[in-house]
Structure 1
């Protein structure tokens, strides 16, 4: 018999929290900023609180079976599920970023714009998606790498940024040698007899 009127099914809550802990331990979460260990210990606190509420609401002889399930252990705050899978996906995403036509366009033309225009177009921020991921891989920052498991959102950002750069009015563009590819800088020097020399300098 319960000690007080129960409007919340604490046994069901405890069952859900145990299941949630087990799932996160094996598969992790999609939390963009906190490691799985932090979330696991938070769920563990919920389990402890669920048990306390059962103790306050039930007579000991009426405790539900789930109450006797062992409380999960505390884990390292930095624990991450699927660590190797996350590392592999991050490297694959970075390779896609670097090979992406729009990303390469942004890199080649980033110096064509003033700082104010680059800020308006979010050029540096978009480039930072790829350079940031490269840094996360080098430092083995799993929670940051996990944000790139599905690269489509970032690839879409490259596409949108490149399109905005192409649509920017000419008066906002400043020509830079960085904007030319090697092929564009490969002038034909074979016809030297057409050169005009002035003061020791050859004018092309």
Structure 2
């Protein structure tokens, strides 16, 4: 049986309904956008709803608008709004405290020579520390998902793999040496 082709009214109804659902999810749970605040994304989805309504007005007769057209338009939110700001701050502070108490992190500063990855980790942590002091919730939200202990473990394994194993040298006999003694022949 052939699939029934949806008419334009059904298509627009779906666009508006999905945008409303997305807006509700963002408003309740916040987003995961690594660069933009929840407020910016909520207003973007709100604009999608407005656009869907405008398409209804342009393409359909007024009495033929879908039910979704009449759903209340979500409010506009401030662009810097973040849904779970206090939770993000709490988790980030807790994570930063755990990292700064971590012996691997403390050990990085005792080393005179650091690998490139160790330097990068120090820079990341410094940047995230700065995001906390500046209350940059978007950067802090990225930090919450950062796997510090996994990165430290991979660095340890990498350094262990490249560190040469010292060969135990046979001590030379005392007294007169021959050329054979020098080359372990």
- In 1: Cα distance, 2:45 partner to 2:156 partner: 43
Residue from 152, 157, 160 that aligns with 2:154? 160
Query: 1:148: which partner in 2?
Result: 143
- In 2: Cα distance, 1:15 partner to 1:146 partner: 28
CA RMSD after TM alignment: 2.0
The structure whose Rg is larger is 2
Unmatched segments (≥5 aa) in structure 1: 171-204
**Could you say what secondary structure the match of 1:148 adopts?**
helix
Change (3 A) 1:168 1:17: same
- In 2: Cα distance, 1:94 partner to 1:72 partner: 36
- In 2: Cα distance, 1:162 partner to 1:127 partner: 15
Unmatched segments (≥5 aa) in structure 2: 1-6, 165-185
TM-score computed with the length of structure 2 as normaliser: 0.76
- In 1: Cα distance, 2:157 partner to 2:121 partner: 13
When the two structures are aligned, how many residues end up with a matched partner?
158
Query: 2:78: which partner in 1?
Result: 76
**Could you say what secondary structure the match of 1:112 adopts?**
coil
Q: 1:86-114 deviations in whole A, cap 9, x for unaligned?
A: 000001111221222332333322x224x
Q: Is the contact between residue 136 and residue 142 of structure 1 (CA under 8 Å) also seen in structure 2?
A: yes
- In 2: Cα distance, 1:167 partner to 1:52 partner: 62
